[in-house]
Structure formats: C-alpha cells, structure tokens
Amino acid sequence: MENSRRLIALQVRQHYLNLTNGVAQVGALRRALKSSQSRLDSTILGQEAGIRTEIDVLNAQQQYYSARRDLVVAYYDYLMARLRLKADVAELDESLLEEINVLL
C-alpha cells in the first residue's frame, strides 16, 4: 500500500510538472509564431520590392508553418497533462472534458 501511495504521489508531481512546463512552452511558442508571422510578412514585402526571392518567401512560410505545428503539439500536450493530473487527483469530471473539447 505504501508503494502505491508513493507511486501515485510521484505521478501527480510528474503530471503537475508537465502541466507547468506545458504552460511555459505554449507561451513561448505563441511568441515564436508571432515572430515567424512577422518575418513572413516582411519577407513577402521584400519580395514585392524586389529585395527577396521566392525561395526566401518559401523558407519563411516553412518556418511559420513549423511554428504553428509546434504550437498545436505543445497545446495538445498541455491539455493531456491537465487531464492526466485531474484524473490522478480524482477531479476529472464531465464538465472538464466538455471544456477541453471546446478548446480543441
């Protein structure tokens, strides 16, 4: 029984750390996405002005969509960590599942 208690406490700590890490990661990736969008916009303007090439625009687009993908993956991981933590502490209920469903 003591081993089970320790294992559950360890899982709760791990899921809490995953949750706090997810919050920080989502925030950082939102800023990275904004930066990538700004770079893409300026690269497109540079191409229209004749300073940048089509390859520069394609590279900026690739970076932008990679940042979007990374943000979506981090957000999904954050939501899963939130669900796991709530399940570990026996607070998982239908209202939380509905809330997360709306966020997805």
Calpha distance 86→80 (Å, rounded)? 10
Candidate from 1-5, 61-65, 89-93 with smallest mean pLDDT: 89-93
Q: What pTM, to 2 d.p., does this model score? A: 0.81
Domains of the chain, by residue range, sit at 2-103
Calpha distance 99→26 (Å, rounded)? 18
Q: Residue 33 has what pLDDT?
A: 97
- Give the architecture (CATH level 2) of 2-103: Up-down Bundle (1.20)
Q: Residue 7 has what pLDDT?
A: 86
Q: Which residues contact 56 (CB under 8 A, 6 or more apart)?
A: 43, 46, 47
| pLDDT tens-digit series, residues 53-85 | 999 999 999 999 999 999 999 999 999 988 888
Q: Which residues contact 85 (CB under 8 A, 6 or more apart)?
A: 12, 15, 16, 18, 19
| pLDDT tens-digit series, residues 29-59 | 999 999 999 999 999 999 999 999 999 999 9
Residue 92 confidence (pLDDT) above 90: no
Residue 2 confidence (pLDDT) above 80: yes
